């Protein structure tokens, strides 16, 4: 059978692209190397033998910027997608036995600041207002290709008009503010604005996930803006949510939408190469040797895997391959997932917190410690004071585990992809032990409550999910690898040097996170080009 498009990878962006292409009347097939769909957005058992029926979001674990347009267009709610807002949005536990939350409700946040940062109350809300205003300028670019500085003729004129519309009314102060946040240091910004160490650490805890660079390095302030982009059904700025059924519920809803639109989805179908004839992509060959013919090939794999592993080197220039090889990956994060016999009792957790409000707690280092952690990771060392973000998903969704069991998923920031001493096979459980020990310093009952545990180092994420060097964003989120630089200059419009080969994954604009935006944008580009 000849397909109009074959998509490599059934992650959320691949499924999103497939759904929109099918809506446009195209015959689409999606090929997934694993035996389940979802990519990094999956819900799986931690240990089927030790804890059957205990499920957790294996990799991605919180929904934040899933585009409301996609939720509505594909009617994901009708396929069972349900998200519950996190409130507090984040919550930090400190060594002195106190817990500080970041509340959506202004009155409650004022009360929290009065306890922890009384001298920063007005500055906090002034800063939040400024950040939301600046983030709103970036918002429209999420669901459209980035500006193309290489456009010519009428396209160049159209690009100029588009930019003028997006930034209509922008002031000089806003321009300087955007430049400052896109290029500046998060640590310097926080030190300049706030007095309270705890408030600065609370803000830090939600600003650098999965990104290279300690808080005092240039470009790290950008995370402040990106986490204030909208999400959820109501398109609310700074929205974050728990997904009922885990993150796999998002991709299962997308799968159902795809199947109802006639998309053929095949699992356990790893692609070995993209077939190219006369400079044009014309299908793929599977590991099994089976050939699947298609008018277009759309890769949801990261750029390095796509161009350096799936495309024959003869189809690309040496210069292009060198540029691809230079994309910064070396994923700086890992995961540790637990099945517990009891809920963590976090020291200092206020007694009036409900179960859902107790579901989040970040064990955040100081800004100086975070900087030292990053530097240590770049030397191939495990940092002394780990940075661990904890989500007790079963406090919000008790269907994830049988009665008497509790599901804790932990994101560990600033890990080395390559260890200076030993291998991750030798030191994987050392990481798990250190995470368990750290949590025990804040919730003393946890180490004795562990029933099962699964540790994912950066190379483990690479092996399990097929993401080069375990980078969850398919390439670092830094200014030199964002917007019209992502994945490479001249190739930021989802097209590639190979005719009829497109990219739709997180390695393209606007980047990582479970947003669906790269898949949506790639599909719209293809539809316009192949009507």
Rounded Cα distance between 312 and 307, Å, is 8
Q: Identify whether residues 273 and 351 lie together within a single domain.
A: no
Rounded Cα distance between 354 and 443, Å, is 17
User: Under a CB-based contact definition with an 8 Å cutoff, are residues 37 and 15 in contact?
Assistant: yes
User: In b/e form, how buried is each residue of 244-278, taking b as 16+ CB within 10 angstroms?
Assistant: bbbbbbbbbbbbbbbbebebbbeeebebeebbbee
Q: Identify whether residues 380 and 479 lie together within a single domain.
A: no
Q: Identify whether residues 486 and 502 lie together within a single domain.
A: yes
Rounded Cα distance between 203 and 201, Å, is 5
Reported as type and span, the H/E element at residue 337 is: strand 333-340
pLDDT in tens, the chain (531 residues): 799 999 999 999 999 999 999 999 999 999 999 999 999 999 999 999 999 999 999 999 999 889 999 999 999 999 999 999 999 999 999 999 999 999 999 999 999 999 999 999 999 999 999 888 888 888 888 889 998 888 888 888 888 888 888 888 888 888 888 888 788 899 999 999 999 999 999 999 988 888 899 999 998 988 887 777 666 666 677 778 999 999 999 999 999 999 999 999 999 999 999 999 999 999 999 999 999 999 999 999 999 999 999 999 999 999 999 999 999 999 999 999 999 999 999 999 999 999 999 999 999 999 999 999 999 999 999 999 999 999 999 999 999 999 999 999 999 999 999 999 999 999 999 999 999 999 999 999 999 999 999 999 999 999 999 999 999 999 998 888 999 999 999 999 999 999 999 999 999 999 988 999 999 999 999 999 997
The helix/strand/coil state of 280 is strand
Q: Identify whether residues 164 and 135 lie together within a single domain.
A: yes
Q: Identify whether residues 379 and 398 lie together within a single domain.
A: yes
Residue 57 lies in a domain: no
Residue 315 lies in a domain: yes
Of 435, 465, 495, the position where a domain reaches its end is: 465
Q: Identify whether residues 288 and 369 lie together within a single domain.
A: no
Q: Identify whether residues 358 and 453 lie together within a single domain.
A: yes
Q: What is the pLDDT of residue 231?
A: 67
The helix/strand/coil state of 251 is helix
The helix/strand/coil state of 498 is coil
Q: What is the pLDDT of residue 230?
A: 61
Residue 106 lies in a domain: no
β strands within 9-54, DSSP E = 28-31, 43-45
User: Under a CB-based contact definition with an 8 Å cutoff, are residues 477 and 210 in contact?
Assistant: yes
Rounded Cα distance between 79 and 76, Å, is 5
Domain count within the chain: 3
The token duo for 224 is: 């402040």
Rounded Cα distance between 378 and 503, Å, is 29
Residue 56 lies in a domain: no
Q: Identify whether residues 153 and 33 lie together within a single domain.
A: no
- CATH number, domain at 35? 3.50.50.60
Q: Identify whether residues 206 and 224 lie together within a single domain.
A: yes
User: Under a CB-based contact definition with an 8 Å cutoff, are residues 339 and 55 in contact?
Assistant: no
User: Under a CB-based contact definition with an 8 Å cutoff, are residues 258 and 519 in contact?
Assistant: no
The token duo for 325 is: 């090889």
Residue 225 lies in a domain: yes
The token duo for 159 is: 């690009």
Q: Identify whether residues 416 and 492 lie together within a single domain.
A: no
Q: Identify whether residues 221 and 320 lie together within a single domain.
A: no
Q: What is the pLDDT of residue 224?
A: 81
Q: Which domain holds residue 13?
A: 2-43+63-83+244-327+475-529
Residue 89 lies in a domain: no
Of 237, 262, 293, the position where a domain reaches its end is: 237
* pTM to 2 decimal places: 0.96
Q: What is the pLDDT of residue 232?
A: 67
What Å distances lie between residue 521 and 6, 12, 214, 467, 473, CA to CA?
17, 13, 31, 21, 17
Q: What is the pLDDT of residue 522?
A: 98
Q: Identify whether residues 364 and 407 lie together within a single domain.
A: yes
Residue 98 lies in a domain: no
Nearest residue to 43 (alpha-carbon basis) of 300, 268, 210, 242 = 242
Residue 53 lies in a domain: no
Of 412, 439, 465, the position where a domain reaches its end is: 465
């Amino acid at each position: 059978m000849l397909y109009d498009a074959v998509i490599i990878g059934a992650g959320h962006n691949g499924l999103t692209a497939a759904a929109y292409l099918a809506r446009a009347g195209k015959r689409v097939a999606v090929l997934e190397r694993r035996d389940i769909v979802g990519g990094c957005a999956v819900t799986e058992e931690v240990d089927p033998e030790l804890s059957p029926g205990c499920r957790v979001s294996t990799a991605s674990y919180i929904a934040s910027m899933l585009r409301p347009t996609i939720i509505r267009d594909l009617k994901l709610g009708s396929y069972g997608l349900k998200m519950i807002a996190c409130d507090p949005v984040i919550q930090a536990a400190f060594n002195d036995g106190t817990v500080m939350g970041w509340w959506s409700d202004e009155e409650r946040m004022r009360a929290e600041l009065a306890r922890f940062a009384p001298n920063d109350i007005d500055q906090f809300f002034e800063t939040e207002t400024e950040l939301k205003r600046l983030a709103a300028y970036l918002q429209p670019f999420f669901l459209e290709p980035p500006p193309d500085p290489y456009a010519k003729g009428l396209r160049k004129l159209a690009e100029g008009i588009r930019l003028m519309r997006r930034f209509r009314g922008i002031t000089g102060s806003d321009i300087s503010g955007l430049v400052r946040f896109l290029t500046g240091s998060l640590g310097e910004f926080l030190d300049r604005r706030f007095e309270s160490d705890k408030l600065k650490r609370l803000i830090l805890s939600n600003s650098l996930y999965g990104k290279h660079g300690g808080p005092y390095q240039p470009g790290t302030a950008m995370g402040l803006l990106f986490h204030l982009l909208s999400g959820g059904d109501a398109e609310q700025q700074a929205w974050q949510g728990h997904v009922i059924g885990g993150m796999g519920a998002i991709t299962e809803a997308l799968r159902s939408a795809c199947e109802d639109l006639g998309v053929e989805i095949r699992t356990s179908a790893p692609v070995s190469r993209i077939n190219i004839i006369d400079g044009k992509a014309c299908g793929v060959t599977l590991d099994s040797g089976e050939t699947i013919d298609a008018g277009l090939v759309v890769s949801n794999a990261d750029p390095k895997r796509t161009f350096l592993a799936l495309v024959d080197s003869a189809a690309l220039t040496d210069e292009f391959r060198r540029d691809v090889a230079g994309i910064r990956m070396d994923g700086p994060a890992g995961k540790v997932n637990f099945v517990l016999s009891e809920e963590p009792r976090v020291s200092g957790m206020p007694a009036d917190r409900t179960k859902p409000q107790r579901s989040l707690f970040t064990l955040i280092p100081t800004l100086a410690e975070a900087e030292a952690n990053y530097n240590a990771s770049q030397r191939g060392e495990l940092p002394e004071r780990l940075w661990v973000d904890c989500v007790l998903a079963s406090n919000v969704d008790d269907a994830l585990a049988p009665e008497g069991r509790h599901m804790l998923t932990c994101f560990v920031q600033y890990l080395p992809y390559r260890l200076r001493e030993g291998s991750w096979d030798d030191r994987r459980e050392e990481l798990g032990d250190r995470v368990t020990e750290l949590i025990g310093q804040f919730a003393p009952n946890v180490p004795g409550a562990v029933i099962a545990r699964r540790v994912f180092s950066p190379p483990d994420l690479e092996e399990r999910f097929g993401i080069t060097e375990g980078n969850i964003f398919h390439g670092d989120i830094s200014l030199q690898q964002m917007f019209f630089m992502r994945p490479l200059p001249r190739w930021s419009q989802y097209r590639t040097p190979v005719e009829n080969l497109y990219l739709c994954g997180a390695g393209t604009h606007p980047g990582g996170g479970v947003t669906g935006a790269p898949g949506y944008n790639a599909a719209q580009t293809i539809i316009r080009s192949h009507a």
